[in-house]
Amino acid sequence: MKKCYIYTRVSTAAQTEGYSLDAQEESLKAYAEYRELQIAGSYCDAGKSGKNIKGRPAFRQMMTDIKSQKDDISFVLVFKLSRFGRNAADILKSLQLLEDFGIDLVSVEEAIDSSTQGGRLTLAILSAVAEMERENITVQFMAGKMQKVLEGGWTGGAIPYGYKNVDHELVLVPSEAEVIRKIYELYQQEDMSASAVAYELNQSNLVRVSSDRKQKPFTYEFVSRVLDNPFYCGRVYYNRRTNKKDRDGKTIQLDEANIITAEGKHEIIVSPEVWDSVHAKRVEIAKRYKKTDDSGHVHLLSGIVKCPLCGKGLTGMISRTKNLKGDGYYKPIYYYKCRYNTRQNGKTCLFDQSLNQEIIDGLVLKILQRLQTYKEFEETLQSAFGDQGNVEKTEKRLQDLRKELRETELTKDRLGEKLDGLNPLGKDYDKKYEEISDKLDSMYDRIEVLESDIVYTKKKLDALKLKAESTVQIMTFMENLPLIYAEMSDEERKEMFQAFVDEIELFLEARADGKMIRSISFKFPMVFDGKPLVKDSKPEDTISFKLDCADIDIDLPDKGNIIMKKQADGSQKVIVRKGTYANIKAYILENYNVKVPTLYIAQIKRKYGLEIGKAYNKPEKNKNHVPKCTKEKELLIMEALKFYDLMEQDVEYREDAV
């Protein structure tokens, strides 16, 4: 008996009569029974759009099962082609995959069967028509949305902070509206930035409660979103922002002429005059502090390296100082830092270290390149590859089961013929009929058990082969990693780390021996048909293990706060740099080739409220002329102070005198 999958989908509550999930499933089961097909799997996407495959998890799971050939099916049954999908490209691509595995698609309601030439032609035409229908619906929907904008109504989507949805209308939340007004009030003050506003709010008695009813700190991003949203002054926009992408994956840039503006019907929180004033300040500051990040730099381990205190992923950051003598900037410094330690994000985490990216990236790469020499890696692969010896045994078991199944089916057929050949008028007819029927029933029971065992054994065999193939692929990749890594772009390197490394745990403080990394959790993806299962992979699709790095001997690069000094006996001693005056001067000289005196460093520390020692040799007032630090050198000193965590990262240059 041939096998099939059935797939059902309903996208909205409006699709009920004749399109409900129950109605679709009932129709498909009736067809399968009519065609004498065994249903090997049933897949259902309830409330999913047919626009494309990505939004339908059950459909994607069905296609994965088809590619793995787990059930050896011959057909996929759908109620109507529109249930299968409404995007012609996706439908035809899926049909091609079915064809590659010798599987036919049947649309029951439309009597379309892809096993026939006419059926394939009809499928191509109907899928194109279905896409036109979807595009027409989309146009009508967007037209209705634009009309609502023109009327000043809320078009749906995320509800702005400060409002709540009551019968499809937005009404004020008094406590949240108070926060919005406070943000605008603070930002209008002179020398107040979005970071400073976030800091002031976190120091106040105001509370921010998120949509999941959890209390969260005020952050720079939150304050910026509030300040940039014209909804608070009563203006409703359509097409103001978009994350739409074209078929090549590029973001669509909309012309300003396509932006529709209307006066909203909702209650405003700030006046249009206040919002315009704040917006003008935001534009001016954006010009003044235009981001100078190196567009070519990639933070390889951002999010993977975990904060040893709060456990969240560290963020890749950059520090660049402008060269006031020329048009450019000094060499940028890249580091990892817990974003929840910054003042603008509420400083909810006390881990204040800035970790040099070159050091962390280099250590992790060295460990990855030497992975084959570590016991944990060897034991993990041996455990996975150890199943290889069971492959032949499992293949033999599968052959035996299939042989027994064929013999049992032959016995069943012979018993059936014998039962049909009994003489109903014979005196032992009833006894013989009962005996043969009992044997026949036992044969049917045995066939059912054998078929179940065959399915289980085949799955086990596929899993064993998959694991063995993955193990070989991992070993081959690791052997060639140094050569492969050298040819990779930074984007490809980051993708590799994201694919292979689950998380990196750090010591809270660098140990006496200089060790920084506590452990690395790896997650090597398995492969199928030579292709890694990287995207949407599940834990069972990976070969995972945790590497204890406490006792791994890896040389540290001579960069950042940590240096290695060679001793007379040939051993190396770890030295952790401190933010002393001598080190600050050496840091500026090394990175920017600029000399600064100790006096200037003390002036800048005093200006920004940092602790300094007593100046015993300070000249009496007006006795001597005391030179003042220039702006150029002040910026360099500020950079060095931030590098040694003596100054907050978000502190900005002030024009007031030193």
Q: Are 91 and 76 in contact (CB under 8 A)?
A: no
Tell me if 515 sits within 8 A of 550, measured CB to CB. Answer: yes
Inside any domain, residue 545: no
Residue 421 domain boundaries: 388-479
Among the ranges 81-95, 514-528, 561-575, which has the highest mean pLDDT value? 514-528
Is the pTM higher than 0.75? no
405, part of any domain: yes
- Kindly report which listed range (119-133, 157-171, 395-409, 579-593) carries the lowest average pLDDT score: 119-133
- 544-555 pLDDT, tens digit per residue, is 888 888 877 766
Scanning the structure block, which residue is given the tokens 């089916």?
A: 409
- Mean pLDDT over 237-254 rounds to 50
- Is 330 a domain residue? no
Domain count, the chain: 4
Confidence of residue 482 (pLDDT cuts 50, 70, 90): confident
Does 531 map to a domain?
A: no
User: What does the alpha-carbon distance between residue 24 and residue 83 come to, in Å, rounded to a whole number?
Assistant: 9
Quick one: average pLDDT of 622-628?
Answer: 69
Are residues 215 and 283 both part of a single domain?
yes
638: closest CA among 586, 600, 593, 590?
600
Euclidean distance between CA atoms 630 and 419, whole angstroms: 108
Q: Residue 277 sits in a domain of what CATH number?
A: 3.90.1750.20
Amino acid at 225: R
For residue 132, count other CB atoms closer than 10 A to its CB: 12
342 versus 570: the higher-pLDDT residue is 342
For position 147, what pLDDT does the model report? 57
Q: Which residue has better confidence, 151 or 412?
A: 412
Residue 238 has what pLDDT?
62
Residues 11 and 142 both lie in one domain = yes
More confident residue, 140 or 63: 63
pLDDT at 534 over 50: no
Which one of 455, 479, 503 terminates a domain? 479
Would you state the pLDDT for residue 259? 61
Spatial distance between the Cα atoms of 604 and 582, rounded to a whole number of angstroms: 15
Q: Which domain CATH number covers 131?
A: 3.40.50.1390
Q: For residue range 251-302, what is the model confidence (pLDDT) as tens digits?
A: 445 445 556 677 777 788 989 999 999 999 988 877 765 555 545 688 999 9
Q: Are residues 279 and 172 in the same domain?
A: yes
Same domain, residue pair 410 and 470: yes
Which among 290, 295, 304 is positioned nearest to 355, based on CA atoms?
304
- Please answer whether residues 320 and 309 qualify as being in contact, where contact means their C-beta atoms are separated by less than 8 angstroms: no
| DSSP 8-state symbol, 322 | B
Residue with tokens 């085949």: 458
CA-wise closest residue to 269 among 151, 198, 167, 173: 173
What span, in angstroms and rounded, lies between the C-alpha atoms of 80 and 88?
14
Rounded Cα distance between 452 and 315, Å, is 51
According to the model, what pLDDT value does residue 651 have?
82
Query: Is the residue at 639 inside a domain?
Result: yes
Q: Which residues contact 314 (CB under 8 A, 6 or more apart)?
A: 301, 302, 303, 305, 306, 307, 336, 337, 338, 339, 355
- Could you tell me if 172 and 137 lie in one domain? no
The most confident of the ranges 33-42, 48-57, 64-73 is: 33-42
Identify whether 96 is part of a domain: yes
CA max distance for the chain: 138
pLDDT at 287: 72
Confidence label for 536 from pLDDT (cuts 50, 70 and 90): very low
Report the chain's terminal Cα–Cα distance, integer Å.
89
Same-domain check for residues 140 and 231: no
Distance CA 74, CA 5 (A): 8
Which residue type, as a one-letter code, is found at position 113?
A: D
Query: What's the CA dihedral at 26, 32, 37, 43 to 10 degrees?
Result: -50
Bridging pattern class, strands 501-506 and 517-525: antiparallel
Average pLDDT for residues 505-519, to the nearest whole number?
A: 80
- What was the pLDDT predicted at 137? 54
- pLDDT, one tens digit per residue, over 374-404 is 887 777 776 665 555 567 777 888 888 888 9
Q: Are 84 and 58 in contact (CB under 8 A)?
A: no
Asked if 356 contacts 560 with a C-beta cutoff of 8 angstroms, the reply is yes
pLDDT at 305 over 90: yes
Q: Which residue type sits at 355?
A: L
DSSP letter (8 states) at residue 291: -
**Comparing 368 with 577, which gets the higher pLDDT?**
368
Do strands 355-356 and 333-337 pair parallel, antiparallel, or not at all (unpaired)? antiparallel
CATH, residue 423: 1.10.287
Q: Are residues 172 and 267 in the same domain?
A: yes
The span from the CA of 580 to the CA of 641, in Å, is: 10
Residue 446 in this model has a pLDDT that exceeds 50: yes
Local structure of 654: helix, strand or coil: coil
- Asked if 194 contacts 344 with a C-beta cutoff of 8 angstroms, the reply is yes
Q: Is 546 exposed, middle or buried (0-12, 13-18, 19+ CB in 10 A)?
A: middle
pLDDT per residue over 25-51, tens digit each? 888 999 999 888 999 999 988 766 555
Task: State mean pLDDT over 334-352.
Answer: 81
**Pair (22, 95) in one structural domain:** yes
Cβ atoms 367, 547 nearer than 8 A: yes
pLDDT at 502 over 50: yes
Which pLDDT does position 231 carry in this prediction? 85
Bridge partners (DSSP) listed for residue 527: 532
End position of a domain, from candidates 120, 148, 176: 148
- Determine the Cα angle at 128 with ends 136 and 125, to 5°: 140
Residue 504 is predicted with a pLDDT of: 93
Domain match, 175 and 63 both = no
559 close to 547: Cβ distance less than 8 angstroms: no
Provide the sign of the torsion angle of the four alpha carbons 576, 580, 581, 584, taken in this order: positive
Mean pLDDT of 211-228: 83
What pLDDT, on the 0 to 100 scale, is given for residue 616? 44
422 within some domain:
yes
Radius of gyration (C-alpha) of the chain in whole angstroms: 35
Contacts of 99 (CB under 8 A, 6+ apart): 114
pLDDT digit string (tens) for 134-165? 565 555 555 555 555 555 556 556 788 888 88
- Residue 73: pLDDT above 80? yes
pLDDT tens digits, 102-112: 888 888 887 88
Give the distance, in angstroms, between the CA of residue 415 and the centroid of all CA atoms in the same chain: 59
Torsion 324-637-351-206 (CA) sign: negative
List the beta bridge partners of residue 3: 38
* Tokens matching residue 539: 């834990």
Give mean pLDDT, residues 238-249: 50
Same domain? For 122 and 204 the reply is no
Residue type, 586: A
Predicted local confidence at residue 524, as pLDDT: 78
Q: How many CB atoms within 10 Å of residue 279? A: 14
| Among 240, 264, 288, residue at a domain's last position | 288
Q: CA-to-CA distance for 315 and 292, rounded, in angstroms?
A: 17
**Whether residues 190 and 127 fall in one domain:** no
Residue 580 burial by Cβ neighbours in a 10 Å radius (0-12, 13-18, 19+): exposed
Which residues, 6+ apart, have CB-to-CB distance to 149 below 8 Å?
155, 236, 237, 238, 260, 262
pLDDT of residue 241: 54
Judge whether residue 565 has pLDDT over 60: no
Whole-angstrom distance, CA of residue 413 vs CA of residue 410: 5
The reply to whether 183 falls in a domain is yes
Asked if 133 and 186 sit in the same domain, the reply is: no
Helices vs. strands in the chain: H and E counts, helices first: 18, 21
3-class SS at 522? strand
pLDDT band (50, 70, 90) for residue 471: low
123: its two tokens = 């499928």
Q: What's the mean pLDDT in 201-205? A: 82
- Contact between 343 and 198 under an 8 Å Cβ cutoff? The reply is yes
Long-range contacts of 445-449 (CB under 8 A, 24+ apart): 446/408, 447/405, 447/408, 447/409, 447/412
Going by C-beta distance under 8 Å and a sequence separation of 6 or more, which residues neighbour residue 611?
Answer: 605
